Amino acid sequence: LTYMINQYKINEDGMKEYLKNIDKDPKAYFDTAYQFAYSALPKSAHKRLPDLKVAIIPIHNDAHAQEGMIIYTLLCAYKNDQNKLGALGGHELHHMLRPQPDFTILPEDESMVLAMYRVLNEGSADMVDKKYMTATALKLLPSQRYFQEFFDEGKKILPVMDDLFSKDPSTWKDLKVRDYFKGTPYTGGHVPGTYMAHFIEKNGLKNELLKSLDDPFAFFLVYDKASRKDKSKPFRFSETSIQHIKELQRKYFKKAG
């Protein structure tokens, strides 16, 4: 907290100018953010949110989307917009515009499906901005260059998920969502979502994914295709895990083959 407060002191003049510039032309600012969001959404989701409220507050370093509202902390917004104007806003708008699942999860599948949903939720939005948050993004603070950390943590946690996905479905009811993220401090879905999204995009399967952004199972199945194509040999799920994911998809999405 002391470090962050000091960053506000160091950057105070620049932050004041930044806020003035947004106030001068908020439409232009949000037009840019919407374009970033649209880069990882199907055409049907290229909409505006006329009643959206946005708050920029001190003192922490975070951004959060909830129903009808986006909350940035100033340090997060300022540094990310210095790095790539509008990308952070695009990530948060993506959460609000992405088609949402409309099925009811049965109790015996709840933890597994919710874990997969978390990965879809952040992984698909991470296609908007995480590629700009690498070690070379020197306008960001070191602690804001998330890509490599999320990528490395993702590679580490996927075997944990694979082991649980491959277990007998009768045992899933005994698991909690956090069990699927055991071994990483990140449980929100950026891990392993950033890792998986990177390989989906790298292997030309982004458009296929965008057709099924309401389907947490599709995110894992499209990643499986990408992992099989990629010559760098990213982590691959076991055949048993993929079969279980396909069975869940058929169970909740009648249209699934």
- Of residues 86, 83, 52, 48, the one with CA closest to residue 70: 52
pTM for the full model? 0.95
The pLDDT tens digits for 15-72 are 999 999 999 999 999 999 999 999 999 999 999 999 999 999 988 889 999 889 999 9
- Strands (DSSP E) contained in 77-181 are none
Q: pLDDT at position 61, please? A: 86
Model confidence at 163, pLDDT cuts 50, 70, 90, reads very high
**With bands split at pLDDT 50, 70 and 90, how would you rate the model's confidence at 1?**
confident
pLDDT given at position 257: 46
C-alpha to C-alpha distance for 186 and 80, rounded to whole angstroms: 20
**According to the model, what pLDDT value does residue 255 have?**
52
pLDDT in tens, 98-136: 999 999 999 999 999 999 999 999 999 999 999 999 999
Distance CA 64, CA 43 (A): 24
Instruction: Please give the Cα distance from 54 to 145 (Å, whole number).
Output: 24
Write the pLDDT tens digit of every residue in 191-232.
Answer: 999 999 999 999 999 999 999 999 999 999 999 999 999 999
Q: What single letter denotes the amino acid at residue 245?
A: I
User: Buried b / exposed e across 2-11, counting CB within 10 Å, b at 16+?
Assistant: eebeebeeeb
- The answer to whether the peptide bond before residue 99 is cis (omega within 30 degrees of 0) is no
